[in-house]
Structures are given as structure tokens and as C-alpha cells.
């Protein structure tokens, strides 16, 4: 399992949005998560660069995107995006993710 999925899965479990798809425990990514990934990619592409790499995606940037795109997000969705952002930035510092 990649580190990215592990962080996203933890955030989705905490929000009560993660379900197992099969008796074998294969993950079923909820429909909401596909939308969140698209939002995250959109925000990530506009990321400001800093001396130590990409700057964190701020709550203001998320709020501006929500308003500009007429696409409000629930608190659990914002927490998930921020968790993905944190992992993305730590992954950049570590030189890339690995599958585990």
C-alpha cells in the first residue's frame, strides 16, 4: 500500500467514509474520494514554492477554490485534503513515495 493511500485511508476512516469492498478486505474508494482527489490535484498545481519546497495548501486557498468553483467542501473533506497535502510535501522532501 502506498504511503499516499495510507494517509487518505486514515482520513477517510476518521470521517466514516471508508468501506471494504469485498470479504477479502479490498478497499472501495468512495465516490467522495474521487472528487477530493480532483480538488487536491487542482490545489496542488497552484502550489506556491518556498525555500524548502512547496508551501502547505492553506485553508484560505481551499476556501477560495470552493467559492470560485461553487463547490463547497465538508469539514472531513478539508481534513482529507490537508492530510494528502502533508503527505505530498513530506514525500517531496523524502525524494518520492514507495509502495509497501
Distance CA 18, CA 5 (A): 12
Span 84-95, pLDDT tens digits = 898 888 876 666
Mean predicted confidence (pLDDT) in 2-6: 58
For 15-26, what is each residue's pLDDT tens digit? Answer: 666 665 545 555
CA dist list (Å): 75 to 14, 16, 50, 59, 72:
12, 12, 27, 11, 10
pTM for the predicted model, two decimal places = 0.64
Query: Per DSSP, what are the bridge partners of residue 27?
Result: 20
Amino acid at each position: 500500500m502506498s504511503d499516499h493511500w495510507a494517509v487518505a485511508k486514515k482520513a477517510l476512516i476518521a470521517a466514516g467514509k471508508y468501506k471494504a469492498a469485498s470479504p477479502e478486505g479490498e478497499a472501495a474508494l468512495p465516490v467522495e474520494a474521487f472528487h477530493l482527489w480532483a480538488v487536491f490535484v487542482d490545489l496542488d498545481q497552484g502550489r506556491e514554492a518556498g525555500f524548502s519546497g512547496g508551501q502547505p495548501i492553506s485553508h484560505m486557498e481551499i476556501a477560495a477554490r470552493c467559492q470560485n468553483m461553487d463547490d463547497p467542501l465538508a469539514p472531513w473533506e478539508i481534513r482529507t485534503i490537508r492530510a494528502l497535502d502533508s503527505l505530498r510535501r513530506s514525500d517531496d522532501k523524502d525524494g518520492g513515495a514507495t509502495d509497501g
